[in-house]
Amino acid sequence: MRENAVFERFIAWLKTAPMGFPDSDDMTALIKARYTPEDAVLLTDVPFDERTLEEVAELKQIDAAVLKPRLDALARKGVVWKISVIDPDLCIGCGVCAYKCPTGSIVLVQRHEITEPPADTGEFAGRFLRDLADPLPRRGD
């Protein structure tokens, strides 16, 4: 497919995004500056909602091991987003994920009571086991 046709198809797909896409003659030049033709082919027709790596790999008919570094590179460019999922069954409420999150998009949900940090690993383990009976609320609860 010709490079111009690749970008025309990519821009047509971008125009279907829920947030829309501006209609401007300058957009083609901006898109070509931000995306390679290979990026445009890869991203065209990928759904705009969240999908797993495996779902995108199946949709694009690319091995997930080959797709992952390509999507990681696009995430570093800021043109796709990685979505992290925190399993409330495994969360111990330590806050490291919220502290380390570069975008500040992870927040902790306060539990029923505020407690002091554990004094040692034994107390930490005891609290962890006790908290298994009182997990964090799940989405929709």
Q: pLDDT by residue (tens digit) across 81-118?
A: 777 677 777 777 788 888 887 767 777 766 566 567 77
Q: What average pLDDT does the segment 30-50 reach?
A: 91
pTM of the entire structure? 0.59
SS3 letters across the chain: CCHHHHHHHHHHHHCCCCCCCCCCCCHHHHHHHHCCHHHHHHHCCCCCCCCCHHHHHHHHCCCHHHHHHHHHHHHHHCCCCCCCCCCCCCCCCCCHHHHHCCCCCCCCCCCCCCCCCCCCHHHHHHHHHHHCCCCCCCCCC
Q: What average pLDDT does the segment 43-52 reach?
A: 88
Q: Band the pLDDT of 120: cuts 50, 70, 90.
A: confident
- Supply the mean pLDDT for the chain: 81
